[in-house]
Amino acid sequence: MPDLSKYDLDFRPKNYWDLRDVLTFVEAKITGKERKEIIKKEIQEGRRVPEELLKGSLDKNLRKLLGSMHPSFMGGEYLPKLEDADVIIASINLESTTSDVIVVIARLTDRGIEYRVEDEYLDSYPEGREHFKVQPKFSKEPLSFKELIDLIDSAEENGGLVESAKNCNYEAEIGYELEDVYDFGTAKSAFYPQLEDWYDEVNEEWLKKKKEELRQVKIEDEKVVSAKELEQDEKITDTSDDYPKGDFKTAYNAFLQLAEQGVASAQYNLGCMYAGGQGVLQDYKEAFKWYRLAAEQGHATAQYNLGTMYDEGTGVPQDDKESAKWWKLSAEQEFAEAQFSLGNIYEDGQGVPQDFVLSHMWFNLAGSNELKIAVASRKILETKMTPSQIEKAQEMARNWKPKTK
């Protein structure tokens, strides 16, 4: 839930049909998301806008032409045709391949103002019409800001329209890659200037929740050392000739012998076995001990795991400064998850002074190492930064050099 103190929940527009301002007209009467942006840019730069582009809804041929340029140009163009008495009072823009748009439409009727929620592709799949609650709502005067939020958030039965839209689109578009999802559900309104900021906060909360889900998955993955991974360890292969597949006892004995000789990779693998309870009783204190020995020798993954244990207080008292220290050592060796973790703690000021520039740099570096959630986090962070801060962070990322252990 966004910070309510920042918003005037009682704000209510005088009416929705005073469209003398041309930019208000464009937002309220043009359905196409990209077309709106083109029209506004042309107007702001003093150029004449072709009459065909100013139609509320395009004909089939123009829609096809726009779609042939790029699928994202289709966004909003397949919404139901607006009648003369219809105005779009809010739109939710989804960053899917085709930039789907969901709108709240107000219509002046004899009964008062009628409101309805429309998704441009609901008619394409019958189950969608059942999924969304789109029963019309009436009022005698324009909705207050809170009433509009309530309408949007009640338009879907599973957690609200915006969150549901983000979840559905990430599943359909990204193939369950949580880290690819960052700004599904951005909002626009010509009548409610607070709406965009409100849903920016909603998106940030949603992303944090997804980040945490992903982090927990990664933690669990780190705890599980598969037999295949054990067999592929080169140092173990050198000393234990083809121990049986899945034979954790043999693997443990081989790792222990090497670990006691100071071999960092063996120490790390012992840490994984104790953390995951593979071949031994799960023991986080033992896991911490072996991770630390490996981390002190510069093992990047052990350094990251050690930082995570400090962050969560697993097997060791929780310590933000220690977690930052070990994540930094790991990140300096280009370990993407550690770079991402540094981006998070610099953004939040957790164990380090808050620094958006450094946060952006680390997100940037993690993204360049193919950690997609870092790209998403960087984009959200940029909404809090000045252009000069972003430019400085980008320059720092370009000039950054990894350190060898």
DSSP string, 272-308: HHHHHTSSS---HHHHHHHHHHHHHTT-HHHHHHHHH
Strand partners, 137: 115
Unique residue bearing structure tokens 């890659």: 177
User: Shortest CA distance to 251 belongs to which of 274, 270, 277, 271?
Assistant: 270
Length of the chain: 405
Region of residue 83 (phi > 0: left; psi between -120 and 50: alpha; otherwise: beta): beta
Amino acid making up residue 256: L
In sign, the C-alpha dihedral spanning 342, 348, 352, 356 is: positive
pTM confidence score: 0.49
For residues 318 and 310, the answer to whether their CB atoms sit within 8 Å is yes
Instruction: Give the burial class of 141: count Cβ atoms within 10 A of its Cβ; 0-12 exposed, 13-18 middle, 19 or more buried.
Output: exposed
pLDDT of residue 213: 66
For residues 275 and 222, the answer to whether their CB atoms sit within 8 Å is yes
For residues 19 and 70, the answer to whether their CB atoms sit within 8 Å is no
Interval 356-369: pLDDT, tens = 999 999 999 998 88
Cα distance between residue 333 and residue 298, in whole Å: 9
Amino acid making up residue 402: P
Cα distance between residue 345 and residue 360, in whole Å: 11
Amino acid making up residue 193: P
Query: What are the residue ranges in the chain where pLDDT is below 50?
Result: 123-131, 133, 157-159, 169-182, 223-245
| Domains annotated on the chain, with CATH | 4-202 (no CATH), 222-399 (1.25.40.10)
For residues 158 and 152, the answer to whether their CB atoms sit within 8 Å is no
Cα distance between residue 92 and residue 69, in whole Å: 23
pLDDT of residue 353: 95
For residues 139 and 112, the answer to whether their CB atoms sit within 8 Å is yes
**9 alpha carbon, distance to own chain's centre:** 26
Unique residue bearing structure tokens 């089939």: 60
pLDDT of residue 291: 95
For residues 324 and 302, the answer to whether their CB atoms sit within 8 Å is no
Cα distance between residue 319 and residue 65, in whole Å: 58
Residues 6+ apart with CB under 8 A from 174: 180, 181
pLDDT of residue 219: 57
For residues 56 and 84, the answer to whether their CB atoms sit within 8 Å is no
**393 alpha carbon, distance to own chain's centre:** 20
Cα distance between residue 106 and residue 394, in whole Å: 43
Give the phi and the psi of residue 116 in degrees, each rounded to 5: -150, 155
